[in-house]
Amino acid sequence: MKKFYVTTPIYYVNDVPHIGHLYTTVIADVMARWKRLNGFEVFFLTGTDEHGAKLINTIHNTNRYALQNFCNKMSAKFKETWNLLNISYTDFIRTTEYRHYVAVSSVVNQLFKKGLLFLKEYTGLYCVGCERFYTVKDLDENQCCLLHKKKLLVQSEKNYFFKLSHFKDMLLERITNSKHSEYIDIQPEERKKEIIGKLNLGLDDISFSRTNINWGIPIPFDKTQTVYVWVDALINYLSGIGYPNNKDKFQHYWPTDIHFMAKDILWFHAVIWPAILMGIGYPLPKTIYSHGFFTCNGDKMSKSLNNVISPQYLVNKYGIDATRYLIINLIPFNTDGDISLIDLTVKYNTDLANNLGNLFFRIIKMIERYFNLNLPYVNKPNISLAQKLSTYFKINFCNNINNVKLQKALNTLQHGLSFVNKQIEIDSPWLLYKNNIGSLNLCISSYLQAIAIIAIHIFPFMPTVSQIMWTSICANGNIANVATQYFINNSIIPETGFLPIYGKVKMPGILFPRL
Ligand code: MSP
């Protein structure tokens, strides 16, 4: 069986889950669900990043018990949110877990043995918000970090350094040469070019440990230092799939197929992470996808501006599946975008309440009116409309998902819905009801087969709604199994269609009440 290993960043626990975290996580979830439907054995990893100075600054307390308690509480909030949103993660890794400590210690020991770590006295400007050192040229005229707008303080420490500079040419080769057996596909192209440009300017060795931050994993051979929080965090991608003790599991899933994140942390994933992996001799991630940043009504989302949109708020307003749908549709993957709640509601009403929801109810209502909710009887199911949709979706919808163009895929879904609406107008079943019951049965049955195709395709995006549609039309079997068969067979519809000969349609509640 083919495997697919997909990850989200592990989120800092100093913040509550918000719409930015939700975006990355829903995208990863759709890809995980999509690959499962295509017969892949999927490992989908998410989790929380719990060490470092940022956390100490947030709770103003260095007591280990207080810190761990806070992490437990905040990590649980992320888990709750993902469970609420139906995120089908395989495992949730926390950097304060023992299994992670073992993995980090093992990686650090190996790098040390290979001579890639060395002690050095260092003076630099550290941004706690970003958890990284900056040089003056990266800052504004007041020596503030561009992201957090806070004046950075000079810090002087004796740290272990990682010989990042040693990997410059190897990285460039692997990022630019698509024929290389270890090619890393960085998406989108514009950001890949930025990374290459920066790499070409030169690569400095980086600080790999901290002396005065004891909320972290100790350097195994020098307990006066803790591992730099970013190195600690990146190793979650190994510890989360069983490294170093569960060799079978680890070897089965490694390397990562797709790391998802926003552009803010692409450098860590595209440069520092592959260098560490080369240092310990492991294969490199295949694809690194970074998306843009959300702003809210023109402003950066932040607690102080009080404009953070919570996933819970969206779910209360739109429902779970609609939230998943809307979030993907909000911004094109590779650009930044502004979110306005008014636009969200317009999109909800247009795409979901008016198009998908209405089409479904229109068909169910016809069955109620013409057949008292019984499935229309036909000798041979009419799958022509379903076939037309299936072919259209295969070329557009499926290809777009395979290329991680989820928003485009959803646009083609809307097109597909209009095919069905048009066909209903052409057939005019209300006229057939009066004078041609045989044709009426065939038409309505073809709409139901089309609904089955739609339900199958929206499954990775809106699993609950698709399940409701499937069971309402009393389609055969479990939707996930049927969809898997369908996609594995290259989108071939069985001649018998998806419905039993006899059955009673169940009237569901309104899928997407108009707002
Ligand atoms: N802990 C590090 C990641 C370590 S991964 C080895 C971190 N955490 S974070 O909580 O700040 O999460 C950053 C990620 O959250 C972004 O890369 C993105 O995936 C998501 N987003 C957080 N805010 C966002 C927006 N305003 N817009 C879009 N996505 C953003 O960095």
pLDDT of residue 230: 97
Which pLDDT band, with edges at 50, 70 and 90, does 61 fall under? confident
Average pLDDT over residues 453-468: 98
- How far is Cα 217 from Cα 231, in angstroms, rounded to an integer? 10
For the chain, the domain total comes to 1
Q: Is residue 9 within 6 Å of ligand 1 at its C-beta?
A: yes
* Residues 338, 344, 350, 356, CA torsion sign: positive
The residue among 6, 2, 16 whose CA lies nearest residue 81 is 16
Give yes or no for residue 28 CB within 6 A of ligand 1.
no
The HSE-up count of residue 206 (CA atoms within 13 Å, CB side) is: 23
Whether the link from the prior residue into 255 is cis, omega within 30° of 0, is yes
What is the dihedral sign for C-alpha 96, 283, 40, 411?
Answer: positive
pLDDT, tens only, 258-299 = 999 999 999 999 999 999 999 999 999 999 999 998 887 777
Domain, as residue range, for 415? 341-488
Asked if residue 22 has its Cβ within 6 Å of ligand 1, the reply is no
Residue 300: active-site member = yes
Rounded Cα gap, residues 499 and 477, in angstroms: 9
* Residues of the chain above pLDDT 70, percent: 99
Question: Hey, what amino acid is at 201?
Answer: L
| Residue 265 CA, closest ligand 1 atom number | 17
145 is catalytic: yes
Q: How far is the CA of 417 from the centre of ligand 1 (A)?
A: 34
Beta bridge partners of 43: 5
Quote the ligand 1 centre to 412 CA distance (angstroms). 29
Lookup result for tokens 């706690």: 128
Residue 153 within any structural domain of the chain: no
In a domain, 104, yes or no: no
For residue 181, tell me if it sits in a domain.
Answer: no
Picking from 427, 455, 449, the residue whose alpha carbon sits closest to that of residue 493 is 449
Whether ligand 1 lies within 6 angstroms of the CB of 148 is answered as no
Is 148 an annotated catalytic residue? yes
> Quick one: pLDDT band at residue 454, thresholds 50, 70, 90?
very high
CATH of the domain at 386: 1.10.730.10
Average pLDDT for 67-93? 98
Assess contact for 135 and 121: CB atoms under 8 A: no
Among 252, 300, 317, 394, the active-site one is 300
What does the pLDDT look like over 335-383, one tens digit per residue? 888 888 888 999 999 999 999 999 999 999 999 999 999 999 999 999 9
Is 73 designated active site? no
Strands 132-134 and 117-127 turn out to be antiparallel
Residue 14 lies in a domain: no
Has residue 230 been placed in a domain? no
- Residue nearest to ligand 1 atom 20, measured at CA: 21
Atom of ligand 1 nearest to the CA of 9: 5
Nearest C-alpha to atom 16 of ligand 1 is from which residue?
262
Asked if the structure places residue 410 within a domain, the reply is yes
What tens digit of pLDDT does each residue of 109-138 get? 999 999 999 999 988 888 888 888 888 878
Choose the catalytic residue: 35, 51, 127, 291: 127
Please check whether residue 34 lies inside any domain of the structure: no
Q: Is 127 a catalytic residue?
A: yes
Average pLDDT, the chain: 94
What's the CA angle centered on 51, arms 101 and 12, to 5 degrees? 120
DSSP symbol at 491: S
Going from the Cα of 23 to the center of ligand 1, the distance in angstroms, rounded, reads 10
471-479 mean pLDDT: 95
365 catalytically annotated: no
Is the pLDDT confidence value at 304 over 70? no
- Say whether pLDDT at 85 is over 80: yes
199 band by pLDDT with thresholds 50, 70 and 90: very high
Lowest mean pLDDT among 97-111, 142-156, 223-237: 142-156
| Residue 372: partners with Cβ closer than 8 Å, 6 or more residues away | none
Q: Which amino acid is at 302?
A: S
Q: What's the pLDDT score for residue 271?
A: 98
**Which protein residue's CA is at the shortest distance from atom 2 of ligand 1?**
11
pLDDT value for 196 = 98
Q: How far is the CA of 260 from the centre of ligand 1 (A)?
A: 10
Please tell me the distance from the alpha carbon of residue 75 to that of residue 212, in angstroms, as a whole number. 25
Task: With a cut of 70, say whether residue 303 has pLDDT above it.
Answer: no
> Residue 333 domain-assigned?
no
